[in-house]
Structure 1
Amino acid sequence: MYPPFVFDETINYGNSNNNIKHEIVCAIDFGTSRTGAAWMKKTSNFSRNQISPTDVTRIQLDLNDQNFKTQTAILFKKTNSNKWEPISFGKSAEKEYLKLKNNEINNYQLFNHYQMKLYGNNSKNPKIRSYSGEEWKFTQVLSGVFRFINKKFVEAVKKYYKKKKYNLDKETVRWVLTVPAICKDQEKIIMRRAFYQAGLISSKDSANLLFCYKPVGAALDFFQDNRNQLNKFKNQNLLVVDAGRGTIDITLMKPTIVNNEIEKFEILMVPKGGDFGSIYIDQEFLKFFQNFLNLNVYQFNQFKNECQKGFLKLLNQWELLIRGIEIDQMDQNCVHTIEMPSRLLRYLKKKFRIKDFEALTDQFKKRNQNSGLSEIEWDDDEDSLVILGDRIKSFFEEPIQKLQNDLNKFKQSSEILRQTDIVFFTGGLSDCQYLRKSVQKILGKNYQYYLSPYPDKSFLLGSVYFGFDPEIISIKRSQFTIRNY
C-alpha cells in the first residue's frame, strides 16, 4: 500500500469525485502557528492554467487582522444552555481572552497552537488542554474551528455576490484541508469526523473533503506563479522545503510541461517531515527562561499555568523576533531585547519574591559561566532581558541539526535529488535566513534557490488549484517512493 496522499487509504472513493459538479473550492490551511482560509468559484471560461492569485478570495477569519493568515487560536463561550460556541478566532480570540476579568474566565475557553497535539497521538479521539488547563476532545475543538470558518465562508460568498441571489449548496463545495507530511490516516479520520460533526459534509467518507500535503500545495503555487515562463522549468525537478512552526517538510516533484502549460505533476518522493519546526526553538527559549528565573520544573509549570496571559504575550513577542532574524544578527555584536510583560513581573515578585532582576541576572551568569555563550543583561529601565545574537543562535541548534541530518541522509540515498534543479522555500519559518543558509550548506550551490514571496499564502493558493483538479497529481510508484525515510 502506498503512503496516503490525497484521499484516506481507508476509504474507497472510486471515481466518485469526477461525478460531482464542484462550483466552489474552499481551502483551509490549518497551521500550528497561523491558520487561513480562501475560496474561489469556477467561472464559465474556467481554465486551470490561467488561474492567478487574484482569482482566489481570502476569508477574513479575524476582523482585526488584515494578513492572509491569522493566529491559530479559537475562543469558546458557554451559552445559557451550557453549550460551548466559538465566538472569535486569531489575534482577536487571544486579545478577548486577555481582557477577561477573573469572575468571567470560567465561561470561556481558549485553545491555541493545537494542531501539533493531533500528530503522533495513538488515540482515536485524543484530548487537548485549553489555555486554562481544561481537557476537551480534539474533535470538539476542531468541529468548532470548522463551524467558525464555514460561517465566515458563507458571509464571504454573500458579500461577493452582494445583491445577486446565490444559493450555496454544500454538495457543490469542495473543501481542501492542508496537512503536514507527518499526518497519518488515523489523524485524517479524526479531522473528517470533526468536519462531519461541523455539518460541512453530508457523510464521513464524502469526497467533498480532500487533503493536500502542504509542500505539494506550495509546489502547485510555485509553478502557477511562474505560469508565463513554465518552459524554462521543463524536465526539472523541484525540491520543496516547507519550514513551518510545527514541522519542517520536504518533497520532490516533477512537472510535465507541454506548450508552456502543466499537464501533470509527478510526486517523486512522498512528502517527508519531522516535528522540528519553530515551536521547538520556542522550547529551547523556555528552557533558557526557566534557567534564568532559577525555578524548578514544578515551579515553572505552575508559573506558566497561573500567568497564562503574560506568557501568551511573551511568546508572541518571541515569535516575531525569530521569524525576522538575519544571520548577521546571530553573533555577539548584535543586541536583542525581550520586554517582560508586566503580568509576568508582578507574578514573579508576588509568588516567588523575585524583586531584584539585576541580581537574578548575575546569579544566572555564575551558573552558566562555562557555557561559551555571551552574557545576558537586565535593563531595569525598560524591564527587558538583553540577549546577544549568539545565544539566540544556540536555541536553533537542535532543530537545525535534525533538519541537516535528515537532508544528509536524503542526499546520500537519493539519486533523484542529484538530478534536482530547484529548491523552493516556503512556510512561516522560511523567512528565517539562518534556516535557509543551513539548508544551502547541506545541499550545495548546484541548485536554483527560490523563496516564496508570500509564504502565508502559498499553501492556500496551491490547495485551491488542487481542489479544482486533484487528478493533476500522480505518485511515482517505485521502491524509492515507498521507502520509509
Structure 2
Amino acid sequence: MSSSKVDTRVVVAIDFGTTFSGYAYAHKSNPKEITVENKWGGSLGFKTPTIIKYEDESYSTIKSWGFDALPEKPSKRRKNVDKSRPVELFKLFLLNEKPTFPDTLDYRKVISDYLRKLGEMIKEKVDIHWHDLDFYNKVLIVLMIPAGYDDHAIAIMRGCAFSAGLTREKNSRNLIFITEPEAAAISCLNPLEKLHNLKPGDSFMIVDCGGGTVDLSCHELLANNKIREITRPTGGSYGSSFVDKEFVGFLRRKLGSSTIELLEKEHYNVLQYMVQKFCRRVKIPFTGERSNFQPYEIDLDDYSWLKDIIKGGKEKRLLEEADWSIYVEYDDVKGMFDHCITKIIHLIREQLAQLQNKRCSAIMLVGGFSESEYLQARIKKEFNKIVLNISVPTQPMIAVVKGGVQFGLRAETMVNRGKPSDIRVIVGLDFGTTYSGFTCCHISDSKIFINTKWPPREVYPKINTILQYDRNFVNIVNIEQWGYPEQDETRPVELFKLHLGNLQENLKPRLPVAYKKAITDYLYKLGKLIKEAVKKNWVGINFTENVLLVLTVPAEYSEKEKAIMRECAHNAGLINEGDSLQLQFTTEPEAAAIYCMDKLREYDLLTIGSKLDY
C-alpha cells in the first residue's frame, strides 16, 4: 500500500502528447526555476515526436524512439526501401479512436514502452542535477491528460506509467493527473495579468490546440493568484494531426485508394516521410494568405518505384499527363485546415455559451497547433468583437508542461498538509439504516446535485437500504435486486448497518450473510450509480483522483466503526486504498447543522450570536 505521506523534493511534469511529447522539472527549493527539456540526443526542441520503432514484428525490442524513429528519405529503389514501421498516434486509442495500427500490437504496451524510454531520460536528468535523490519517494510525477479522458482512460495511463517504471506502485501517490487546459491556465496566469490587466473576478478561456486533441475550458481569476474552473471542459480530436489526415486523403485521391492502402501496409515509412515533408514545407508555414503561398510539388521521380504499383485508371492517366508530379495548391491546403478549424470555432462558441451572461475577458491559445498563423487569424476574425483580448503566449508549445510543474508544486504542499491534492467533485453519501442516498457538487459551482433516480425507475431522494441475494446468498441477483427488490427469491437482507454502533448484541438483526459483506455489496451497488452520475455531470473527472467522498455516520460511531466503514468502502471500490484521503467522515448531526445554517442564512433567519441546538 502506498504511503500516506508524500515528501516531494522535485516535481516532474510529463506532457505525453499525440504527436509530440516533452517534460519539465523544478526543485521545490527554487520553484520559479522551471527547466523544460530541449535536448533529445542529437536533436533540439522542446518536444520529441511521440513515435516508437521496434526491431521486428515481434515488437519485443525497441529500435528507436522520438526523433530517431522518424522516417528517413526513402530510397528510389523499392528493394532498398526500409519496411520497418514506426508506431505512432497510439494515444488516440484512449479517446476511442483507432489509427492505423499493427494487428498484433497492444496500444497499452506501446504507451508503456514510450513512457519507459521517456522515464529513463527523466531519471538520468534528475540524477545529474540532484545526485542520490530517491526518485520513487522524492519525485512527484504530474501527467497531463486531455479534458475528455474518463476514469477508464486515466486508469490505463496510471497502469502504463507503473509498467514503464515511473512509479514503484500502481496506485502511488507520487503520480497525479491534471487536464491539459487546467495546466495551461495555471501557466498563463502571469501573462494574462500583465498583457490584459485581468483582475479578480474576470474570466478567461484556454484553448489548448495540440497535435491530437483540442481542449477548452473557462476559468475565473481569484484573489492571491488562484483560479477556478467555471465551465465544463470540452474538446475533440481536431489537433494538427487532423490536417495530416486530410493530406493523406488528398494523396488518396491523387494516387488511388489501393496505392495508399499498399503504402500503409507495406511501406508505411515512405508514406510518413511524405507527410513529414508536407508538414515542414507547407503545413507549418501556411498563413492563409493566398499571396504568400507557393504551390508545393511532390515529384514522384523521387519515389520512382511507386509508379510501378499505381494501377491503371484515371489516377495513373492524370499523373502521366502531369509528368508524374502532384501539385498541392492553395485551395487544397486551405481545405485541409478549414474542416478542423471550423470544429475548433464551434467548441469556442460552446464555451462562451456556458458562460451565459458572464463576459469572457480573454482567450489564450496554447499548444503546438496554436502557432499556426492561419488558425490564429481565423479565431481572431471570428471572435474579436466578442472577446477583446485574443493572444498566444511566448512559446505556446510548453505552456501546458510548465503549468503542470507549477500545479505539482502546489499539489505537493496540499498533500503534505494531509488534504487530497486534486479534488474537483465532492460526493456526500448518506448510508442509512433503512434509506440511503447521495448528493454531488463540483467545487467550482455551489449547485448541489441530488440523485433522485434509482433502479429500475423509482424517483425519490433516497432508496431502501435493502439487498436481494441469490439462494446461496453469494451474489446480488441483478441490479433490480437492491434498494427496490421486485422479486422475492430469498428473504431481503436489511438493517445490516445496525451491526455497527452501540446496539446490544441480542437486538441486532440476524443476517444470512456477514454484515461486512452486506455493507460492502450495498456500497458497491450505490458506488456504481455515484460513478455514473459523476461521469454524466462532469467530463474528465477521474473518480479515484478528483472525487472526495464524505460519508455521514452516526455521532456514536467510534474510530473502530469508522475503520470498518472505510474497509467496506475500499472493498466496494469507492476508494483505491484503505487509507485514502479521498474518503472523509462527518457525523450526521454535524452535516445536518451545516445544511440548516445555510438555509437559515438564505432566509435571513440567522444573526451573529444566534444559538443552535442539535
Q: Which range, TM-score by smaller chain?
A: 0.7 to 0.9
- Give the match for residue 37 of structure 2: 58
TM-score when normalising by structure 2:
0.61
Q: Deviations over 1:302-356 (max 9, x none)?
A: 2332221211111112223223211214x7x83231434766x323212226799
Deviation at 1:357, TM superposition (A): 8.9
Larger radius of gyration: 2
Does residue 90 of the first structure (1) align with residue 66 of the second (2)? Answer: yes
Shift in alpha-carbon separation, 1:340–1:41, aligned structure 2, 3 A: farther
Q: Distance in 1 between matches of 2:382 and 2:238?
A: 17
Kept in 2, the 8 Å contact 1:129–1:136? The answer is no
1:437 corresponding residue in structure 2 = 377
CA contact (8 A) 1:27 1:175 kept: yes
Matches within 5 A, 1:22-421: 22-43=8-29, 46=30, 51-52=32-33, 55-58=34-37, 60=39, 62-77=40-55, 84-95=60-71, 110-120=86-96, 130=101, 133-161=102-130, 165-224=131-190, 232-258=198-224, 262=225, 264-293=226-255, 295=256, 297-320=257-280, 321-329=282-290, 334-340=293-299, 345-352=303-310, 360-361=318-319, 378=322, 385-415=326-356, 418-421=358-361
Aligned to 1:452: 393
Distance 1:166 1:421 in 2: 47
Give the count of matched residue pairs: 422
Return the alpha-carbon distance in structure 2 between the equivalents of residues 68 and 325 of structure 1: 21
User: Could you state the TM-score of these two structures normalised by the residue count of structure 1?
Assistant: 0.76
Instruction: Tell me the SS of whatever aligns to 1:390.
Output: helix
Q: Is the CA contact (8 Å cut-off) linking 1:32 and 1:246 kept in structure 2? A: yes
Read off the aligned partner of 1:288 and give its amino acid letter. Answer: F
Moved more, 230-239 or 187-196: 230-239
**Alpha-carbon distance in 2 for matches of 1:216, 1:92:** 31
After superposition, give the CA deviation of every residue in 1:338-384 in whole Å (9 maximum; x if it has no partner).
434766x3232122267999952587xxxxxxxxxxxxxx5x5xx75
Question: CA-to-partner distance for each residue in 1:36-59, whole Å, 9 max, x for gaps?
Answer: 12222222xx4x5xx14xx32416
* 8 A Cα contact 2:319 2:325, kept in partner: no
Stretches of structure 1 that go unaligned for 5 or more consecutive residues are: 1-11, 122-126, 364-377
The DSSP-based 3-state class of the residue aligned with 2:127 is helix
Q: Give the whole-Å Cα distance in 1 for the aligned partners of 2:320 and 2:45.
A: 41
Cα distance change of structure 1 residues 444 and 42 upon mapping to structure 2, 3 Å threshold: same
Q: Which has the higher contact order (CA 8 A, sep 6+)?
A: 1
- Percent sequence identity is 22
- Quick one: which amino acid aligns to residue 275 of structure 1? S
Contact 1:326–1:433 (CA<8 Å) still a contact in 2? Answer: yes
- Aligned match of 1:3: none
Do the aligned partners of residues 411 and 221 (structure 1) sit closer, same or farther apart at CA in structure 2, a change above 3 Å counting? closer
Aligned equivalents of 2:147 and 2:73: distance in 1? 32
**411 and 267 in structure 1: CA distance in 2 versus 1, 3 angstrom threshold:** closer
In the alignment, the residues of structure 2 paired with residue 480 and residue 68 of structure 1 have an alpha-carbon distance, to the nearest angstrom, of 43
Q: Return the alpha-carbon distance in structure 2 between the equivalents of residues 97 and 114 of structure 1.
A: 23
Q: CA deviation at 1:167?
A: 3.3
Q: Give the root-mean-square deviation of aligned CA atoms.
A: 3.6
Over 3 Å counting, the alpha-carbon distance change for 1:229 and 1:245 in structure 2 is: closer
